[in-house]
Amino acid sequence: AWSGDDTTLYSAGADGQVRAISPADASATWTLNLPAPVHSVCDVDLGTIAAGLADGRIAIIFAHDKEPLYWEGHTAAVTKLAAMPASRRFLSAGEDGRVLLWSLETPGKPVVLAALGSPIRALALSADRARVAFADRDGHLEVWRLNP
């Protein structure tokens, strides 16, 4: 995932590592080891990173701190994340079939947007961040309008 200012790339790994990478020379500027495989990352607010873990938690990483907070909301692996930086919010989707809306303003208290019958395989925000589309493993697709 790109940082909000396009100066850093963030990678997720099955080894539980999140890396910040300089696109200029592809060197890692920092690496953080998390307690479970990481399926997805996004830059929520210029240096505040969300990482979706295989154990169902979201790790919130503050670039200046490197001591993550762990938020719970999913009951299975978090597989997709999508950032909404202007509002300091992000979406998560998981193997539990749920799509959750998170905010840095209300830490660890997600809003359940949808609960489908099978794992979510795709999650995308429109360019204006006003709509979200998601699809589950069974091919069910939904498009929702988000409140500002």
Interval 2-30: pLDDT, tens: 998 899 999 999 999 999 999 999 998 89
123-128 contacts, C-beta under 8 A, 24 or more apart: 123/80, 123/81, 123/82, 123/91, 123/93, 123/99, 124/82, 125/82, 125/84, 125/91
* pLDDT for position 46: 83
| Strand 69-72 versus strand 57-62 pairing type | antiparallel
Report CA torsion sign: 49, 31, 35, 95: positive
For the chain, give the mean pLDDT: 93
